[in-house]
Amino acid sequence: MLIRLALPSDLPQVRDRLRAVFGPQRADHRLDPVSQLIRAVLGVRTYDEVAWAAFIRLRAAYPNWTALGEAEADAVEQVIDPVTFADQKARQLPVLVRMIRLKRGDLELDFLAHEPVDEAMAWLMRLPGVGPHAAAATLNLSTLDQRAMVVDAHVNRVARRLGLTARQGDAAHAHDEILDLAPDAWDGEALAELHHLMKAHGQSICSHLDPACTLCALREACPRVGVTRDQEGEVVAFAPSLPDASQPRV
């Protein structure tokens, strides 16, 4: 079945086209909000597989997160290394745990389900090491299942190239801009699926250095903001100044 895509801002069509490539994305398991927050902080500028491995080691070392709040930074760093900025995150995580307990009287974040998303985001971003990405991941990907959009580096790049977000905008603005385009009927699950689809697209097709536009399911409507002709792989293939110009680039 042909899925028509007239504008990249048509998020249901973007979702459907990417779903046709990567399949439906459904969460099999959701972490509790505190665990998801810790997982998200570990994941800042870190590959998923590295962050997940560090999270599993951290959980094994501190089966009760309250104990993480009492841990020495050096001990935490040994457990979470080699995540990016391990020393910094090892200092932030115990403070983060203690701050939640101090502010809430308990180590829980379930109350955020009853707050407006923008206020819940702001509350989380006052914790050490928590930016828009980690805050949105806590609200959207955990059992809170709130209507937030996780904008990591891959999603941010795809959204910018599609013209969904401002070219120079940061992740916080991108979060708000994508939410503004999302249909009102979309719940947290729908936004989580869009995140996973756009991330998979950014990791495989719309990569940082070499977007495979000729293979892209969104190419008809994509304005390719910031993508050079060289990156698209068209001019390079036929540029007469290149020694192997007669050989199309694959």
Q: Should residue 213 be labelled a site residue for ligand SF4 when binding is judged by CB under 6 A? A: yes
Residues touching ligand SF4, count (CB under 6 A): 14
Please, which residue, 195 or 224, has the CB nearer to ligand SF4? 224
- Rounded to an integer, what distance in angstroms lies between the CA atom of residue 177 and that of residue 62? 38
- Rounded to an integer, what distance in angstroms lies between the CA atom of residue 37 and that of residue 62? 15
Amino acid residing at 191: L
In the chain, count of helices (H) and strands (E)? 13, 0
Please, which residue, 107 or 227, has the CB nearer to ligand SF4? 227
- Rounded to an integer, what distance in angstroms lies between the CA atom of residue 13 and that of residue 53? 35
Supply 48's token pair.
Answer: 């998923």
Q: Should residue 178 be labelled a site residue for ligand SF4 when binding is judged by CB under 6 A? A: no
Q: Should residue 162 be labelled a site residue for ligand SF4 when binding is judged by CB under 6 A? A: yes
Query: What does DSSP assign to residue 3?
Result: P
- Rounded to an integer, what distance in angstroms lies between the CA atom of residue 84 and that of residue 10? 35
List of residues 6+ apart from 93 with CB closer than 8 A:
38, 41, 68, 76, 80, 129
Question: Taking CB under 6 A as the rule, which mask of x and - marks residues 106-145 in contact with ligand SF4?
Answer: ----------------------------------------
Among 39, 89, 161, 195, binds ligand SF4 (CB under 6 A): 161
Residue 80 C-beta: closest distance to ligand SF4, Å? 33
Query: What does DSSP assign to residue 118?
Result: H
Residue 74 C-beta: closest distance to ligand SF4, Å? 43
Q: Should residue 218 be labelled a site residue for ligand SF4 when binding is judged by CB under 6 A? A: yes
Site residues, ligand SF4 (CB under 6 A): 158, 161-162, 205-206, 211-213, 216, 218-219, 222, 224, 227
